Amino acid sequence: MKKVLKDIKLIKKLLETKKVEFTINGLTEYNRKEDGTYGQVPILFHTHCRDGKTESIYDGFTRGMNVNKFGPTCVTLYTFDMLNKKTTAKIRYEDVEIIKDLTLPIFSEEQIEAAFKK
């Protein structure tokens, strides 16, 4: 199901300016679930911000990619390997599900909508 345009704009704004934790639809890994069993669970990503602007997106602690630009429909990422080979990736906003805002002690949709309703 596609998200409405308002939600996509909100997701873009959050990814650009806040430290958030999110998942991408369809990206899973084999790991322990919350109930203690093992199976496919969504991969958690988080943004790294400096001066109110997102500079990179991380999967876990060390695996990350730098942000090239935030476009109208997706964010473009890049990284370089040890042999100086550039790798690029794109994340579509419609595939992103925000889990929580890591800058706020309590995260709710009402707080986010009120903050960006201007």
Q: What is the pLDDT of residues 61-105, one digit of tens each?
A: 778 999 999 999 999 999 999 999 999 999 999 999 998 877 765
Q: How far apart are CA 101 and CA 104, in angstroms?
A: 6
How much is the pLDDT for 114? 75
User: pLDDT value at position 47?
Assistant: 94
User: Tell me: the pLDDT tens digits for 14-55?
Assistant: 999 989 999 999 999 999 999 999 999 999 999 999 888 999
pTM of the model: 0.77
Burial tier of 93 (Cβ tally within 10 Å: 0-12, 13-18, 19+)? buried
State how far the Cα of 62 lies from the Cα of 56, in Å rounded to an integer.
11
Distance CA 100, CA 106 (A): 8
